Structure 1
Amino acid sequence: MKALVATLAASLIATTAMAQNTSITIGMQLEPPNLDPTGGAAAAIDEVVYANVFEGLTRFGSDGSVLPALASAWDINDDGTVYTFTLREGVTFHDGSDFDADDVVFTLDRARAEDSTNAQKALFAGIENVEALAPNSVQITLSSPSGNLPFNLAWGDAVIVAPESAAGNATNPIGTGPFVFSDWVQGDRVELAANPNYWGEPIALEAATFKFISDPVAAFAAMMAGDVDAFPVFPAPENLAQFDADPRFNVIVGSTEGETILAMNNSAEPFADPLVREAVALAINRQEIIDGAMFGFGTPIGTHFAPHNPAYVDLLDRSPHDPDRARELLAQAGYADGFTTTLKLPPPAYARRGGEIIAAQLRAVGIEAEIENVEWAQWLEQVFRGRDYGLTIVSHTEPMDIGIYAREDYYFAYARPAFVALMDALDVETDEAARVDLMQTAQEMIADDYVNAYLFQLAKTGVANARIEGLWENSPTQAIDLTGVRWVQ
């Protein structure tokens, strides 16, 4: 009888401990270079802080919809040039300072300033004026009509920051979100704690740790040992079948906004020649890359647009795998004997593994791609900002971001005037059918110009403890939103 009582007591204690679990450890392959989403391009920044630490006037929901956040509502004038946002009251930043309309004016003026370091400065290009009408009311005037403003303001690059703390957000982020920054042990982890003064719905978690594990083998070991509770983007898809067979885990497979591309430096020879770019695109066998690098997870794409978007056009037939034709095009361009270029690969497995496969495919048509493995900070400095590269592989995880092809300063350096005009027309168009036509024309233009070689839409392949619920299945933006996550028995 004593043994039975002891067993029942131990079981009760264990059950209570399980039910009371209010902390979580999240695995990530890449460490963010800083923690300020308004001053950096790396997806890992938003993955840690979007919706957790920082909030914008609007936000993306798990289904990609645009939802109210620090703005509870907004009105648009008849010609679509003036938006009036009603702000939530009683909101404070994590340092105790009040959130009001002046913070919105500061944030948006800072983001669109001439010396702005915002990685998505183009989001704010159409803003002509931002004015505080009252502490809880802001008016944004646009230079031309646009239906995109609430969507643009939902990006991580548009989160609201305070003038008192903005300069320090890279290492000590201070937002209005449900979690406050606690600690950053560089090279290891970022720790967050629940915000006791949060204005919104209470969250279930009291603490969250983002653990950085770059090695896929170590990531697998950490999950199996329980050192990590969830890995929303697991770096080794070959292990997912093993997790799926283990009742301790849930495998979560969804879609992302991540167009994975073999980017070409259009501003430098030989890639300034469209014949060379077409040859590269035709040398690529997408399915080999998906199978070999991603173990079958990924959807082939023929342009820079997500297949789950209703406006998507299937353009795979514009760049089929045709190595013979690729060799002919190289000869026409004056490279009958091929050429040598660099292939700079950032750390993610899709790039490192995919790069080896792509290098072999290019070699088969006479292109020698010399692989350089670079860390994320190097990639941002050399490729993204410096354009010091020939080829690179990267997933663009920002939502509906085909507009980047209109940017003259962007790293693959396209910005064809006809394409820029398309994006200008899209920005002011409010009729949905007309917008779809413009987006489809844009997809066809960059596919026909072979700006880049379009590989696949990145799948979201994650694994989590089976007792965790509320993690996003899909990734409509680059975020690991913990606001609805909790443990269950």
Structure 2
Amino acid sequence: MTQFKTETDWLISEVRKGRLSRRAFLGRSAALGVALSLGEGLYSQARAATPKKGGHMRLAMGHGATSDTLDPATLTNGLQWTAAYGVANTLTEIAPNGQLIGSLATEWSASPDARVWTFKLRDGVSFHNGKTMDAEDVIASINYHRGDDSKSVGKPLLATVTDIRADGPNVVVIELAAGNADFPYNFGDAIFGIYPAKDGTIDWRSGGTGGYILKTEKAGQLYEFERNPNFWNSDAAAHADTVSLMSITDPAARTNALMTGEVDCIDKIEPKTVALLARRPDMIVEEGAGPLHYTFPMLTKTAPFDNGHLRQALKYALNREELVEKVLFGHGVVGNDHPIGPSYRYHAGDIEQISYDPDKAKFHMEKSGLGDVTLNLSAADAAFAGALDAAVLYQASAKAAGININVVREANDGYWSDVWQKKPWTASYWGGYATEDTMFSTGFAADAAWNDTQWDHARFNELMVAARAELDEARRAEMYRDMQVILRDEGGAVTPMFANDIHARTENIAHGELSWIRGFDGRRILDRWWMV
């Protein structure tokens, strides 16, 4: 980053915080060589993005199921993550610019081998129940995911932890069996929200230290919040007085709720409706490229998907470009059957792209020895906008390769609890993570709760452990490249496309710089947005 950009960014941030007048801003920007007209424009943008306290924020998401809870060990969809970030803070946080910053941890450091990590905690932070946060609460919140009987989605991320202890009331020390250069990134995920310790576990039902107190909960349908009057970060976050966060899984109903003024912002905009919404002067459509990707995972330990040649046949039987064109309407790029897309640091863009090839699909189908079989593909638009259309297009392209796919239309409600990871082949999506290790550990580690392909590959497992501890960038990049190749050639997930995240809002709601690491501003919309 240039010195000029650093200084102008600082000036803009001071305006947004109300610390710099127009006259002072223009004077200082002129000293940097900024023309008066440009300075006026920068000042106007900064003022427009200045948070305002008050108002009622209404948000609708295309996620949620009646089986949802806010138990941090069971956060499986975007609605849960968004609600969890509202009531609880994490040790770290990924800022919109992608940098890792402190939240409940003010600083952290590692031993030279990245095996021992020390986190210093913020002083004087209160939980919703009035208790002051200390190291024991942090330890209990992390250990909640570590027990032998834990089914937490965060358990694989803590598999190498050998010891966790307090060094005084505001310092936590964590020792690992092997180094992990990206370890602090894990603690920015909603599953690692910090809650008060109680009776050897945590009391997550009483809330954390977050900017909002949960007042109403209709599981997977509606969450209503009031601003926390004792929030430690009230100057910079949690601007609305009250928030309604609701689930509307039907895309048409969700879009209609926005257009009729029932809500202020919706996520998971169907790409085919982007142009329609963008033409309306009262609507603002925003999109960005991140790690979001759509998949068709197969259970690789369940017949017939335990057959490697069948899996390869299905990968060559899909016309990915057609899906990007007809399902995403160009709002994304093709995938290569692994989860590390172009937004990741170690994306291996040089490996050969699997493309639609009916002849190769037929070759692998014959090699499978399965004969003339019909394969059920379960899908619902709860998986992703256009999932049913994508499944039907898959059915058509596979037919040209001599492969019979039967599209099973599943109900939206209960899809994640009754279909995903239950039926052998389904439609799914991943919002992605900040690092390759988190993505692999969460979705592909043998004992991971979200391992939706039942993936357990000896060489892949070895590389995952080795890459995590490797501090040499070149060697680490080579290992992650090898893992992407293994998944492309042998894995159980067909990953046809990486999609842009798209949301739409009215002019009644505003925000600063956006994060695209996940939808709804990295799922932190409750903290970062405000009413105007």
TM-score greater than 0.5 by the shorter chain = yes
* Residue 420 (structure 1) aligns with: 461
Take 1:73 and 1:192, find their aligned partners in 2: how far apart are those partners? Answer: 30
Contact 1:71 1:87 in 2 (8 A): yes
> Is the aligned partner of 1:287 residue 2:326?
no
Shift of 1:147: 1.2
Question: What secondary structure does 1:256 align onto?
Answer: coil
* Residue 324 (structure 1) aligns with: 359
Give 1:30's match in structure 2, choosing from 43, 63, 74. Answer: 63
Contact 1:247 1:466 in 2 (8 A): no
Contact 2:293 2:429 in 1 (8 A): yes
> Is the aligned partner of 1:80 residue 2:114?
yes
Shift of 1:130: 0.8
Question: What secondary structure does 2:89 align onto?
Answer: coil
Take 1:416 and 1:376, find their aligned partners in 2: how far apart are those partners? Answer: 33
- 2:194 partner letter: I
* Residue 309 (structure 1) aligns with: 344
> Is the aligned partner of 1:454 residue 2:495?
yes
> Is the aligned partner of 1:117 residue 2:161?
no
Structure 1 residues 188 and 76, CA gap change in structure 2 (3 angstroms): closer
Take 1:479 and 1:230, find their aligned partners in 2: how far apart are those partners? Answer: 13
> Is the aligned partner of 1:405 residue 2:444?
yes
- 2:324 partner letter: I
- 1:438 partner letter: M
Question: What secondary structure does 2:499 align onto?
Answer: strand
Contact 2:129 2:206 in 1 (8 A): no
Give 2:259's match in structure 1, choosing from 220, 224, 229. Answer: 224
Take 2:149 and 2:455, find their aligned partners in 1: how far apart are those partners? Answer: 23
> Is the aligned partner of 1:213 residue 2:257?
no
Shift of 1:336: 4.0
Structure 1 residues 456 and 283, CA gap change in structure 2 (3 angstroms): same
- 1:131 partner letter: R
* Residue 390 (structure 2) aligns with: 354
Take 2:216 and 2:385, find their aligned partners in 1: how far apart are those partners? Answer: 28
- 2:216 partner letter: D
Take 1:342 and 1:273, find their aligned partners in 2: how far apart are those partners? Answer: 16
- 2:444 partner letter: Y
**Structure 2: unaligned runs, 5 residues or longer:** 1-51
Q: Percent identity at matched positions?
A: 23
> Is the aligned partner of 1:482 residue 2:526?
yes
* Residue 436 (structure 1) aligns with: 477
> Is the aligned partner of 1:142 residue 2:142?
no
* Residue 340 (structure 1) aligns with: 375
* Residue 47 (structure 1) aligns with: 82
Shift of 1:467: 4.2
Structure 1 residues 349 and 41, CA gap change in structure 2 (3 angstroms): same
Shift of 1:316: 7.5
Shift of 1:269: 1.9
Take 1:218 and 1:444, find their aligned partners in 2: how far apart are those partners? Answer: 40
Where in structure 2 are the equivalents of 1:222-301 lying within 5 Å?
Answer: 222-234=257-269, 236-301=270-335
Structure 1 residues 482 and 43, CA gap change in structure 2 (3 angstroms): closer
Normalised by the size of structure 2, how large is the TM-score?
A: 0.81
Question: What secondary structure does 2:87 align onto?
Answer: coil
Contact 2:268 2:385 in 1 (8 A): no
- 2:531 partner letter: W
Give 1:198's match in structure 2, choosing from 220, 228, 231. Answer: 231
* Residue 383 (structure 1) aligns with: 420
Contact 1:383 1:411 in 2 (8 A): yes
Question: What secondary structure does 1:392 align onto?
Answer: coil
Give 2:165's match in structure 1, choosing from 131, 151, 166. Answer: 131
Deviations 1:328-379, CA, capped at 9 Å, x for gaps: 2212212342433343446232423322222333333322334141446443
Question: What secondary structure does 2:420 align onto?
Answer: helix
Contact 1:278 1:329 in 2 (8 A): yes
Contact 1:94 1:174 in 2 (8 A): yes
> Is the aligned partner of 1:176 residue 2:171?
no
**Structure 1: unaligned runs, 5 residues or longer:** 1-18
Deviations 1:374-427, CA, capped at 9 Å, x for gaps: 44644335533xxx4221111111303033323245231222100000001011
Which moved further from structure 2: 56-65 or 158-167?
Answer: 158-167
* Residue 410 (structure 2) aligns with: 373
Aligned length: 463
Take 2:267 and 2:500, find their aligned partners in 1: how far apart are those partners? Answer: 11
* Residue 470 (structure 1) aligns with: 511
Shift of 1:64: 3.0
Take 2:318 and 2:409, find their aligned partners in 1: how far apart are those partners? Answer: 19
Question: What secondary structure does 1:130 align onto?
Answer: strand
Which moved further from structure 2: 92-101 or 451-460?
Answer: 451-460
The two structures, once aligned, show a CA RMSD in angstroms of: 2.3
Which moved further from structure 2: 180-189 or 216-225?
Answer: 180-189
